[in-house]
Amino acid sequence: MKNIAVILALALAVLQFLPAAAEKELLQKLPPQYRKWLTEDVVYIISPVERGVFLQLQSDLEREQFIKGFWKQRDPNPSTPQNEFQIEHRRRIEYANTWFGKESPGPGWMSDQGRIYILLGEPKSIEKYENKTELRPTIVWYYQGLMDYGLPNAFSVVFFKQDYTGDYRLYSPVRFGPQALMYNYTGDMTDYQQAYTQLQGIEPVIADLSLSLIPGENPGMAPSLASEALLSTKIPVAPVKKVKTAYAEKMLRYKDMIEMDYTANYIENAKMTAVLLDPRSGIHFVHYLIEPKRLSLEAYEGRYYTTLEVFGSVADMEGRPVFQFNKSVPIELSQEQMQRIQDKLFSFQDMFPLVPGRYRLTVLLKNTVSREFTSIEETLVVSEKPAPGIAALFLANKLVENSSYRGQSKPFLLDDRQLVPSPRNDFTQNDPLYLFCQLAGSGDELHRGGSLRVEILKEGAVVRTQEKRLGEYPQFPDVLERFPLSGLAPANYVARVTLLAEKGQALAADEASFYISPVAVLPRPWVLSLPQSSSTAPQYWNDLGSQYLQLGRKAEARERLERAYHLAPQTPRFVLDFCRILMEQRDFRQAKDVALRAFQGQGRDEFLLPLAQAGQALGEYREAAEHYGRYIAHAGPSVRTLNALGECQLAAGDRRAALESWEKSLQLDDKQAQLKEKVAALKRGTP
């Protein structure tokens, strides 16, 4: 797979806001059919985010996938083969081109009436005032029931002919005023009351609309600012009010990391991360969960299948890769299991170790059956020597005591207590609220004399409070409290935690918001998490050592990689990573001994490469050349290994063999200028 962190750094750069000049240039570079799609077909219903993303796509294949995703996000009923929104949108454009803009040079969709019709659809009723001598031709469209789109429950849209000829224009009380609706108005153009009074005598309905388009509003004798906001702001954004544009941003961010047929199928999710210190090992673990909006399974012979592919990347704040992981998670359910979970959410949970620092985490979750994907992006902070404070505060709705997974690593498993958090922090009155946090940087003195205050607040007022001495917590520095929610009314709340010194002064505080729902039962997800080895297992020390090596902290890297190796010297990855740090620190003799011991003990050919590299660094060229040759026979030739083999052969005095190796390297890459000079010198017999 491509380097996730590097690609992400590039993706973040292109997700910035596009300046107008750059947007214009990109628009001109679009192929004609896609420029037409953007500037004509969907010009009124595409969001600025979607427009910016579309302009940055590089190929027609990407654009076609975007268009597919664009309509998919707007499909009101994905279970049907037709996209009702897309069909209706095309109908509106055809209607606008047929009936509007007849007295203007452009097509009907470009007229004011065509634009409003495409944005809002068929009005509830239409009234025409076209034959009054003193009133300019005026048409009123009345709309109702569009509150879901951020619009008033009822409002009117007015069109009028500003001149004797020409097309109908959209009327604005602020921009035109009642004066503009009358022929031969000779009064004061700034006196709205005078104009309104005169218009009342001509047509009372139009007079009222001339100041406000919203029934029941009383703007006085001044044009309605709310009507202006309706026309200039609310109506133009109504088509995208309920559209989630995250799919477009995710497509641009990840299009170089996932297969193209995934990019149009982004699924929204709820997510949560917590950095927890494991007291047994002293290692910080990142616990995370992803709850995609849906999980699609494939039915076959009475069973249900899919495979999830999980790709994770941790990069420092400059975008340099620190840690990457990938997993393949097969799911197979029986008919009975499917019936139990089919109406539930799905929660994927996982964890991994991380060294101190500040990072960006990205996790991609792909469903290989439905070709759908979702993602999380989070900033992580792992403190090396924290000051006294509150860390990893989160809430849970369920606690499993005496978990059968005790002794293993499992997301949100704390010793033998399995917490079940919800990323939405939603509860019912029948639920208990479990509050967990860790007290960071707390010494013995604070442990003896300090205390912790927990408060439940509603609208800023404390409704429940509790204070405990830190010494009362049996698993300090872990804090776990249970609060029954019965008696608390459905509403939004805040749980505030304050760490107090012996004399009561506040040292640190943190809080988490939660919601008590009025319903009796909330849908809880079924959880998929894979238990792993004990938190002191060698794989974690190896992961931490690799992270330190990526950060350039070689001493810390060697300590942890060596620990992993000594705990499990039969694991090839631990052997190779330990050899790598030894080579980095120029401890070539030990690197060779470690590689030789592993090769002789296991007979695995992958150990030949560090054995050859260490031998070359020690000047044992003939032996190193033999190891390089055997490794190439096992793994296949590469430019790097062929060049190294040639160097060893030349240093051992075998010029003909060196020439042969380097010529093979040039066959793989003929742009190696220095190597060409060496080959030419060998052929001339020059040293």
pLDDT for 184 equals: 86
Distance from C-alpha of 157 to C-alpha of 122, rounded to nearest angstrom: 12
3-state DSSP assignment of residue 6 = helix
Chain mean pLDDT for the chain: 94
Provide the terminal-to-terminal Cα distance of the chain, rounded to the nearest Å.
42
Q: In degrees, to the nearest 5, what angle opens at C-alpha 637 toward C-alphas 635 and 641?
A: 95
Selection from 549, 548, 494, 539 nearest residue 516 by Cα: 494
Domains in the chain, start-ordered, CATH in brackets?
120-239 (no CATH), 267-385 (2.60.40.10), 386-528 (2.60.40.1930), 538-684 (1.25.40.10)
Report, as ranges of residue numbers, the positions in the chain whose pLDDT lies below 50: 1-2, 6-16
Pair 172, 231: CB distance under 8 Å: yes
pLDDT for 260 equals: 87
Based on its alpha-carbon atoms, the radius of gyration of the chain, rounded to whole angstroms, reads: 34
Joined together, the tokens standing for residue 343 give 């109406």
Q: What's CA 563's distance to the chain center, in Å?
A: 35
pLDDT for 12 equals: 46
DSSP 8-class letter at 40: I
Residues 6+ apart with CB under 8 A from 403: 410, 413, 416, 417, 418
What count of other Cβ atoms lies within 10 Å of the Cβ of residue 682?
Answer: 18
Separation in Å, CA 581 to CA 4, 566, 588: 23, 14, 10
What count of other Cβ atoms lies within 10 Å of the Cβ of residue 163?
Answer: 8
Stated length of the chain:
687
3-state DSSP of 423-480:
CCCEECCCCEEEEEEEEECCCHHHHHHCEEEEEEEECCEEEEEEEEEHHHCCCCCEEE
pLDDT for 631 equals: 96
pLDDT for 16 equals: 47
